[in-house]
């Protein structure tokens, strides 16, 4: 009997010893999800390493497959873009120091820097930039269509590049400041490891030994970078958090210096943990009332029915219920940063169920009508129930159809007259127009043409300054009046930083640009 | 013994082949719009089609399977569609994390479960009842809840352990222990209850057998009877339970790795499935099948060593 006690005591003692040993934090390296370490002796100084949390895995380091938005930090670590944008969206020099449109705005000439070296020792040339642009246009990036209008890219000389378009595209400089403007070395083009092994000219170099693909990416400062002012850290690790709870645990445990919050409640928790929460409006939530010729749902052909849909929504209530009150109600799809934006159009359809019923009756639907829309797995079931209740109260009887993982394909194929979505707001009016208002727009799912929209869009496309801005505002007013959409609110996107870190939000991107995240001054 | 091992190996290989075929079919037939999931929801249909062509998704399913199978038998499981990394490299970098977790949890389960079982069986009375109640509680609380409570208490509250992340033993033994301790406890807690109950039951049954009474009557010391004769007889069923728990833990690791943000095979399985990364999911299927096969083989061999009758059957 005594032996039993002794054996138990030894085993329990061993476990306790192991636990205590594990708690010896003084000599314990900072944990990462990579299996790598950064000991205090390895880090040159306290602010030497940025621990950046990321909420999306990197799809590819190959520029022609690259995504953007939440994936931009990975790419900005190792690459430069032809142009850049300032936090307020102003276009600024990148690899190109000068850029100039021709008279009819169908050719953009860029002058490139002559002191840029890639991590394999090769140098930047106009021909290399041209090859990158064409490869992006023909590649499989989600945004390859950004360059669909590019007919030719020519290197005029060693450092002069001319991009020729089939028709003017005012958003081209913006695209060149994002994934479409990434420039990788020639050696990547035929490399089978291009997706995982970047060869760029960016401020940091990927440390493949410390990186666990799909989990943690580690970058070391590039000693040969042309612009050392943008290198604020000697090392950056980017850790992907798949689980929102794990992300918040990392925040509360002080394991990340900066990260995007994934939900409104996380902002509150982060604030309580001592993080600075900065908010911006990057998306809008609401409905696209696409079947405006009534192909699937005849009622939607009548503008009064679409307006009734808008009046039926209690936006303040929906913002509180669905977005935790963190956002701005709106009835327009253009960004507050876009010249098309009109603050009055955020309140164009106040909550008025009686008016909605009246409009339905005037349109010939006094008893209402049935509208089939797709539900999805991205948002809780309760969200659809709330919409159904509000729309049902005025006579728009919603039947939600469950969708599988082919939601996007079916939505874009015109399977439903209307659908709810969360979509990005763009910095330029032209991007928003191009996205869902033109007959060729992918998100104009019935590909309908409206002469008034085409006329105003043409002015925006070809025009400059006040003329284009006025046309954009007129177009915005028109589609709000015509109730092409039923936006509900623009949710706040929150970026969290601890007291060692400061960041300037980017008006046109989900996360701050990497060079705008730095040690707190 | 050799033919025993050979029989088990052949049965195991046939099982892995069957699982691979069904896995491949289910993944392809059950998934829609894989190319769009990989490219991104907002992409133009033309870009999605370009991606489908690039991955060969438009080829007949049989052609795709035999291409994959040909590579698999030569050790090439292809490249991950979502990251471009060779699947074998992706799994090799993540297997040590999952093995750290599961082996750690099995060792903890074996030690604590067997000790609790022995104490319950030998003491009986209130000690036995207390252990029984504890076991019931431990087995009824879901693993993810245990994980969350452990994080709240020991990582965020007392700050004894990091809340997320992993450090390999090669980089720092202390760091490794600090990152796997809570996940191992979360993974083991339910299994401990099962093993303790099994050991307790088997030992109580064995203690009632005639040979125990005879050994005691012949004057053998209590401890020798308990730990040499009774425990050895009770070890067989306990080992089976432990083996099953090991396999269950491979599944449990999926949740635990998510909660603690550990870069293991479980986390890979979840993200690869969500992204429609079929080569990586197939790699996970093959790897876990081989692991289960190996665990079962080891258990069979140990059972055979403990009880020669098993070898004959």
> For the segment A444-496, what is each residue's pLDDT rounded down to a tens digit?
999 999 999 999 999 999 988 899 999 999 999 999 999 999 999 999 999 99
Answer yes or no: is pLDDT of A11 > 50. no
Distance from CA of B14 to the nearest CA of A (A): 32
Q: Looking at chain B from residue 130 to 189, which residues have their Cβ under 8 Å from any Cβ of chain A?
A: 148, 151, 155-156, 159-168, 171-172, 174-175, 177-179, 181
Instruction: Report d(CA A364, CA A352) in Å as an integer.
Output: 19
Range with the poorest average pLDDT among A15-24, A140-149, A459-468: A15-24
Residues 6+ apart with CB under 8 A from B129: none
Position B12 scores a pLDDT of 86
Percent of chain A at pLDDT exceeding 90 = 81
Position A24 scores a pLDDT of 36
Lookup: tokens for B166:
């992993």
Distance from CA of B267 to the nearest CA of A (A): 8
Segment (H or E) for B300 = helix B278-306
CB of A437 closer than 8 Å to CB of A292: no
Residues of A in Cβ contact (< 8 Å) with B45: 409, 412, 442
CB of B177 closer than 8 Å to CB of A22: yes
Answer yes or no: is pLDDT of B148 > 80. yes
Position A266 scores a pLDDT of 86
Task: Give me the mean pLDDT over the A101-116 stretch.
Answer: 96
Q: Identify which has the larger pLDDT, B311 or A517.
A: A517
Percent of chain B at pLDDT exceeding 70 = 97
Lookup: tokens for B286:
């093959």
Task: Give me the mean pLDDT over the A56-79 stretch.
Answer: 96
β-pairing, A369-374 vs A396-401, is parallel
Band (pLDDT 50/70/90 cuts) for residue A279 is very high
Ordered DSSP codes for B28-87: HHH---HHHHHH-TTS-HHHHHHHHHHHTTTS-HHHHHHHHHHHHHTT---B-TTT--BH
Band (pLDDT 50/70/90 cuts) for residue B205 is confident
- Tokens 């970047």 label which residue? A198
Of A31, A57, A253, the CB nearest to B166: A31
Instruction: Report d(CA A182, CA A117) in Å as an integer.
Output: 14
Residues B206-240: pLDDT tens digits?
Answer: 888 888 888 888 888 888 888 778 887 777 778 88
Position A380 scores a pLDDT of 79
Band (pLDDT 50/70/90 cuts) for residue A406 is confident
B96 in contact with A at a CB cutoff of 8 Å?
A: yes
Position A243 scores a pLDDT of 87
Q: Classify residue A141 as exposed, middle or buried by CB count within 10 Å of its CB (0-12, 13-18, 19+).
A: buried
Residues of A in Cβ contact (< 8 Å) with B226: 4
Residues B20-51: pLDDT tens digits?
Answer: 999 999 988 877 778 988 898 888 889 999 99
Instruction: Report d(CA B199, CA B110) in Å as an integer.
Output: 10
Answer yes or no: is pLDDT of A53 > 90. yes
Of A3, A23, A442, the CB nearest to B178: A23
Band (pLDDT 50/70/90 cuts) for residue A6 is very low
What's chain A's average pLDDT?
89
The verdict on a CB contact (< 8 Å) between B175 and A37 is: yes
Instruction: Report d(CA A253, CA B260) in Å as an integer.
Output: 12
Position B311 scores a pLDDT of 58
Position B240 scores a pLDDT of 82
Task: Give me the mean pLDDT over the A504-508 stretch.
Answer: 92
Position A418 scores a pLDDT of 97
Q: Identify which has the larger pLDDT, B305 or A30.
A: B305
What 3-state DSSP class applies to B164? coil
Answer yes or no: is pLDDT of A12 > 50. no
Interface test with B, best of A11, A140, A193, A435 (most B CBs within 10 A): A140
Q: Identify which has the larger pLDDT, A125 or B13.
A: A125
Position A198 scores a pLDDT of 98
Band (pLDDT 50/70/90 cuts) for residue A295 is very high
Answer yes or no: is pLDDT of A45 > 50. no
Band (pLDDT 50/70/90 cuts) for residue A381 is confident
Position B279 scores a pLDDT of 96
Answer yes or no: is pLDDT of A32 > 60. no
Position A263 scores a pLDDT of 77
- Chain A residue with CA closest to B92: the answer is A212
Position A47 scores a pLDDT of 56
Band (pLDDT 50/70/90 cuts) for residue B140 is confident
What 3-state DSSP class applies to A373? strand
Give the alpha-carbon dihedral of A48, A51, A56, A59, to 10 degrees: 40
Range with the poorest average pLDDT among A30-34, A115-119, A260-264: A30-34
Answer yes or no: is pLDDT of A21 > 70. no
B210 in contact with A at a CB cutoff of 8 Å?
A: no
Position A46 scores a pLDDT of 38
**CA distances (Å), A309 to each of A14, A312, A402, A418, in order?**
68, 5, 21, 11
Lookup: tokens for A75:
């790419």
Position B229 scores a pLDDT of 81
Task: Give me the mean pLDDT over the B118-129 stretch.
Answer: 87
Position B261 scores a pLDDT of 92
CB pairs under 8 A between A and B: 215
Instruction: Report d(CA B92, CA B104) in Å as an integer.
Output: 18
B262 in contact with A at a CB cutoff of 8 Å?
A: yes
Position A241 scores a pLDDT of 92
Position A478 scores a pLDDT of 98
For the sheet containing A150-157, what is the strand order?
A96-101, A107-112, A160-165, A150-157
What's chain B's average pLDDT?
88
Interface test with B, best of A3, A15, A23, A31 (most B CBs within 10 A): A31
pTM for this entry: 0.86
β-pairing, A235-240 vs A49-54, is parallel
- Chain A residue with CA closest to B48: the answer is A140
């Amino acid at each position: 009997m005594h032996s039993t006690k002794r054996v138990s005591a030894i085993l329990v003692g061993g476990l306790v010893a192991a636990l205590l040993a594990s708690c010896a934090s003084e000599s314990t390296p900072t944990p990462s999800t990579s299996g790598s370490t950064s000991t205090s002796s390895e880090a040159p100084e306290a602010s030497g390493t940025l621990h950046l949390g990321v909420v999306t895995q990197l799809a590819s380091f190959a520029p022609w497959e690259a995504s953007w938005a939440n994936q931009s930090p990975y790419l900005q670590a190792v690459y430069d873009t032809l142009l850049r944008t300032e936090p307020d969206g102003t276009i600024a020099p990148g690899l190109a120091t000068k850029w100039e449109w021709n008279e009819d705005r169908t050719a953009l000439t860029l002058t490139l820097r002559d002191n840029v070296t890639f991590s394999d020792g090769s140098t930047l040339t106009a021909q290399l930039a041209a090859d990158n642009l064409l490869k992006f246009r023909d590649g499989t990036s989600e945004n390859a269509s950004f360059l669909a209008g590019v007919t030719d890219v020519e290197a005029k000389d060693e450092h002069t590049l001319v991009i020729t378009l089939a028709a003017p595209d005012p958003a081209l400089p913006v695209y060149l400041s994002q994934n479409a403007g990434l420039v990788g070395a020639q050696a990547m083009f035929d490399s089978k490891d291009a997706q995982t092994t970047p060869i760029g000219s960016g401020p940091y170099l990927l440390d493949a030994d410390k990186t666990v693909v799909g989990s943690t990416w580690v970058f070391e400062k590039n000693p040969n970078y042309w612009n050392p002012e943008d290198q604020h850290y000697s090392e950056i690790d980017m850790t992907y958090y798949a689980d929102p709870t794990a992300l918040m645990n990392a925040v509360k445990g002080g394991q990340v210096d900066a990260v995007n919050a994934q939900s409104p409640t996380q902002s509150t928790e982060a604030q309580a943990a001592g993080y600075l929460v900065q908010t911006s409006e990057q998306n809008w939530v609401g409905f696209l009332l696409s079947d405006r010729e009534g192909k699937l749902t005849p009622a939607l052909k009548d503008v009064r029915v679409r307006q009734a849909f808008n009046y039926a929504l209690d936006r303040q209530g929906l913002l509180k219920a669905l977005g935790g009150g963190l956002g701005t109600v709106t009835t327009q799809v253009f960004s507050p940063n876009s010249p098309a934006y009109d603050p009055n159009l955020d309140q164009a359809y106040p909550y008025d169920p009686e008016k909605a019923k009246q409009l339905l009756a005037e349109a010939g639907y006094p008893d209402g009508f049935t509208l089939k829309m797709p539900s999805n797995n991205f948002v809780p079931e309760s969200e659809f129930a709330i919409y159904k209740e509000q729309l049902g109260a005025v006579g728009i009887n919603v039947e939600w159809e469950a969708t599988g993982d082919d939601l996007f394909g079916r939505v874009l194929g015109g399977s439903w007259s209307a659908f709810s979505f969360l979509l990005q707001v763009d910095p330029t009016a032209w991007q928003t127009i191009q996205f869902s208002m033109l007959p060729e727009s992918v998100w104009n799912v019935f590909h309908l043409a409206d002469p008034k929209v085409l006329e105003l869009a043409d002015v925006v496309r070809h025009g400059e300054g006040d003329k284009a801005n006025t046309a954009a505002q007129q177009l915005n007013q028109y589609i709000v009046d015509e109730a092409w959409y039923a936006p509900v609110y623009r949710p706040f996107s929150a970026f969290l930083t601890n007291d060692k870190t400061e960041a300037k939000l980017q008006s046109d991107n989900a996360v701050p640009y990497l060079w705008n995240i730095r040690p707190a001054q | 013994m050799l033919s025993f091992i050979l029989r088990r190996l052949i049965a195991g290989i046939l099982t892995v082949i069957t699982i691979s075929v069904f896995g491949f079919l289910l993944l392809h037939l059950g998934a829609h719009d894989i190319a769009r999931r990989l490219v991104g929801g907002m992409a133009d249909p033309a870009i999605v089609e370009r991606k489908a062509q690039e991955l060969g998704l438009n080829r007949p399913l049989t052609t795709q399977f035999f291409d994959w199978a040909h590579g698999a038998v030569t050790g090439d499981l292809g490249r991950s569609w979502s990251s471009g990394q060779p699947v074998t490299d992706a799994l090799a970098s993540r297997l040590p994390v999952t093995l750290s977790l599961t082996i750690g949890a099995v060792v903890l389960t074996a030690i604590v479960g067997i000790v609790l079982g022995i104490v319950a069986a030998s003491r009986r009375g209130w000690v036995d009842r207390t252990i029984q109640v504890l076991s019931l509680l431990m087995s009824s609380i879901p693993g993810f809840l245990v994980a969350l409570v452990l994080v709240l208490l020991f990582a965020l509250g007392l700050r004894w352990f990091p809340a997320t992340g992993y450090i390999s033993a090669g980089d720092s033994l202390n760091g490794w222990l600090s990152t796997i301790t809570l996940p191992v406890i979360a993974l083991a807690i339910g299994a401990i209850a099962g093993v303790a109950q099994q050991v307790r039951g088997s030992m109580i049954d064995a203690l009632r057998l005639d040979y125990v009474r005879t050994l005691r009557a012949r004057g053998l010391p209590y401890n020798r009877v308990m730990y040499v004769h009774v425990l050895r007889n009770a070890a067989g069923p306990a080992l089976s339970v432990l083996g099953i728990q090991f396999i269950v833990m491979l599944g449990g690791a999926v949740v635990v790795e998510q909660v603690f943000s550990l870069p293991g095979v479980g986390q890979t399985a979840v993200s690869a499935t969500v992204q429609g990364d079929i080569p990586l999911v197939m790699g996970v299927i093959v790897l876990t099948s081989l692991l289960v096969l190996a665990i079962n083989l080891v258990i069979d061999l140990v059972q055979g060593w403990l009880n020669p009758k098993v070898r004959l059957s």
